[in-house]
């Protein structure tokens, strides 16, 4: 789900109607196209007699339908809100209300597949609902409990380390999304309150060299960096990190910088598409709305 937690992806109450209308328009357009083609061939081969004006009218209708259909595809709903499995888009636009349930099902299947493997495995699971207020469904409530239940069912509890973090990006404030909620900057806070999204390049980024080290057992909020004086292993850790970084840098081929506003502007031609561009509309998760396992 590369870019789905942005505002246009909120389920718009008109979306279902919009999608249904689009499907109908496409169907009507295909029918008119076939009819116009058949009539033209029939007329040219003198098998049937129809006035050219009727064929012209049909062609105009096709143009009009195409225009109405195409213009709905300029909405960022289609371009930005996609659900992917591996490298394939399975929903475009994503249906936010059921995305959470689909992801839980994937997580459960992953556990079931992985327990047959030798050795450890890692599941990284981002609950969509942790970051921003999303609509939920009755099925989704209690799904974190369900993931824990699977760990228990498969007898993995005593060998599983669960690390829960409350967010997964540097997005700190969305005052417009929840009525009455206003985030204010607490004194001494270091989050990206002014820019909302933490930036990756430019003047607003602080580079730490050597990197800051924290002991997460003692200081989970990362408020006090370790120093040479407070941590006997400080020098060893810093040099280990530096060596690993150098090793890693040697292994990568330099490419042109891909971050920053210069290169990152919107280009529709580069957006993900699950159909034939620009008709990007698919729903391969259909029928999976009610996929939750019962948690008894
Ligand atoms: C997990 O550990 C607890 C406490 O040591 C023990 O009672 C329980 O039987 C263990 N469960 C499994 C599945 O090994
Ligand atoms: C840095 O953040 C400020 C807001 O605090 C913003 O006005 C400015 O444009 C940002 N600078 C850059 C280079 O992004
Ligand atoms: C981190 O803190 C814990 C708890 O105080 C301590 O047991 C551990 O040794 C510390 N780790 C390091 C690398 O200093
Ligand atoms: C840390 O302390 C050691 C000796 O106590 C010193 O050799 C080293 O340069 C110090 N490192 C830093 C980063 O200050």
**Confidence bin at 67 (pLDDT 50/70/90):** confident
Atom of ligand 4 nearest to the CA of 238: 13
Question: To which residue do tokens 């099925």 refer?
Answer: 139
d(C-alpha 134, C-alpha 146), whole Å: 19
Proximal ligand: closest to the CA of 215 = 3
Residue carrying structure tokens 């989970």 = 220
Q: CA-based Rg of the chain, rounded to a whole angstrom?
A: 27
Confidence of residue 178 (pLDDT cuts 50, 70, 90): very low
What per-residue confidence (pLDDT) applies to 32? 92
Average predicted confidence (pLDDT) for the chain:
77
Q: Are 198 and 173 in contact (CB under 8 A)?
A: no
Q: Is 159 in the pocket of ligand 1 (CB under 6 A)?
A: no
pLDDT the model gives residue 25: 84
Confidence of residue 228 (pLDDT cuts 50, 70, 90): very high
Contact (CB, 8 A) for 285 and 90: yes
Q: What is the mean pLDDT of residues 51-61?
A: 90
- Which residue among 192, 196, 204 has the greatest number of ligand 2 atoms within 8 angstroms of its CB, and so is best to mutate? 204
CA-nearest of 145, 177, 181 to 164 is 145
**Cβ < 6 Å from ligand 3: which residues?**
215, 217-218, 231, 233
240 pLDDT band (50/70/90 cuts)? very high
Could you tell me if the CB of 261 is within 6 A of ligand 2? Answer: no
Crossing angle for the helix pair 143-153 and 96-114, to the nearest 10 degrees = 10
pLDDT for the residue numbered 252 = 93
Q: Is 206 in the pocket of ligand 2 (CB under 6 A)?
A: no
Q: How far lies 155's CA from each of 115, 159, 161, in Å?
A: 10, 9, 13
Q: What global pTM score does this model have? A: 0.53
Structural tokens at position 249: 């840098």
Percentage, residues of the chain above pLDDT 70: 72
Average pLDDT rounded to a whole number, residues 127-134: 64
Residue 16 has pLDDT above 60, yes or no: yes
Mean pLDDT of 39-58: 89
Q: In angstroms, rounded to a whole number, what is the distance separating the alpha carbons of residues 229 and 216?
A: 18
The region that residue 279 occupies, defined by phi over 0 for left and psi between -120 and 50 for alpha, beta otherwise, is: beta
Nearest CA to ligand 4 atom 12: 228
CA distance 4 to 137: 18
- Which atom of ligand 1 is nearest the CA belonging to 158? 1
Confidence of residue 177 (pLDDT cuts 50, 70, 90): very low
- Work out the average pLDDT over 98-110: 86
Banded pLDDT at 215 (limits 50, 70, 90)? very high
pLDDT of residue 121: 92
266 compared with 150, residue with greater pLDDT: 150
Tokens of 109: 């299947």
Hey, how many other C-beta atoms are within 10 angstroms of the C-beta on 82? 23
């Amino acid at each position: 789900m590369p870019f789905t937690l942005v505002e246009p992806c909120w389920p718009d109450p008109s979306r279902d109607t919009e999608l249904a209308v689009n499907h109908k328009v496409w169907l009507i357009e295909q029918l008119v196209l076939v009819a116009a083609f058949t009539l033209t061939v029939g007329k040219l081969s003198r098998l049937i007699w129809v006035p050219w004006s009727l064929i012209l009218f049909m062609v105009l209708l096709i143009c009009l339908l195409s225009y109405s259909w195409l213009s709905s595809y300029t909405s960022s709903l289609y371009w930005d809100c996609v659900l992917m499995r591996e490298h394939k888009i399975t929903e475009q636009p994503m249906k936010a209300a059921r995305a959470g349930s689909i992801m839980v099902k994937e997580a459960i299947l992953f556990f079931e597949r992985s327990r047959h493997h030798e050795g450890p495995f890692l599941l990284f699971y981002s609950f969509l609902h942790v970051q921003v207020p999303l609509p939920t469904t009755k099925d989704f409530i209690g799904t974190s409990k369900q993931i824990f239940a699977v760990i228990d069912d498969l007898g993995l509890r005593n060998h599983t380390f669960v690390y829960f973090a409350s967010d997964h990006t540097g997005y700190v404030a969305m005052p417009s999304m929840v009525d009455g909620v206003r985030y204010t900057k607490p004194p001494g806070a270091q989050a990206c309150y002014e820019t909302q999204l933490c930036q990756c390049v430019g003047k607003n980024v602080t580079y730490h060299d050597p990197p800051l080290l924290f002991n997460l057992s003692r200081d989970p909020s990362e408020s006090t960096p370790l120093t040479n004086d407070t941590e006997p292993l400080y020098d060893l850790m810093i040099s280990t990190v530096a060596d690993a970084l150098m090793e890693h840098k040697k292994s990568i081929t330099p490419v042109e910088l891909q971050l920053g506003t210069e290169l990152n502007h919107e280009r529709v031609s580069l957006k993900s598409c699950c159909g034939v561009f620009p008709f990007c509309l698919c729903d391969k998760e259909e029928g999976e709305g009610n996929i939750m396992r019962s948690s008894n």
